[in-house]
Amino acid sequence: MVPGDGCIASDGAGTALSGEQLLAALETSAPEPAAGLPEELFLLISRLTPLVNVDLLVQDERRGTLLTWRDDEFYGAGWHVPGGIIRYKETAEACIRATAQRELGASVEFEPQPIAVVQAIEPQRRERGHFISLLYRCRLTAPPAEALSFAGTAPQRGQWAWHVHCPPDLILSQAPYRRFL
């Protein structure tokens, strides 16, 4: 049997896999989806459905907006609002707290409702090409990790810095946030 003859996939040895067998194999690869997915499975899912994420608008009257440097295969190099994809059965609130800790080494308080909802679709991108982003106004309750602070001439991946104005090298996908920065 080959895919298209009533089966969804083959195991490579010519044995047909039913839809149920294929789903069981996928579930076996991610026994605890709330803890995260294997990269290959995550990228597959991102080809099939929009991803929902939270973005943290951390601002201070004197220092401006706290941004982090990103440099990856999907968005290239540039400053961005810290954010994270909401995992299966994770609340937006828990994701905000985890993102603040992971990207800033800090804790935050935040408004209960997002101040903006932005849908981003990248037609040319196969993976990670559709996001629904929830922008939350946040306030630091502890300073960000000094070890992650940008203090040189060229920012490194994961470093943070305060910006009084929107930087010219804000990553393109976050252009809708310029009005907040």
In terms of Cβ atoms closer than 10 Å to its own Cβ (0-12, 13-18, 19+), residue 49 is exposed
Topology, domain 50-180: Nucleoside Triphosphate Pyrophosphohydrolase (3.90.79)
CB 104 within 8 A of CB 144: yes
89-140 per-position pLDDT tens digit: 999 999 999 999 999 999 999 999 999 999 999 999 899 999 999 999 999 9
Q: How confident is the model at residue 65 (pLDDT cuts 50, 70, 90)?
A: very high
**CA geometry: angle at 149 spanning 138 and 129, to 5°?**
60
More confident residue, 6 or 47: 47
pLDDT at 33 over 50: yes
Q: How confident is the model at residue 8 (pLDDT cuts 50, 70, 90)?
A: low
For tokens 């929830």, the residue is 134
Q: Where are the domains of the chain?
A: 13-45, 50-180
Q: Which amino acid is at 42?
A: F
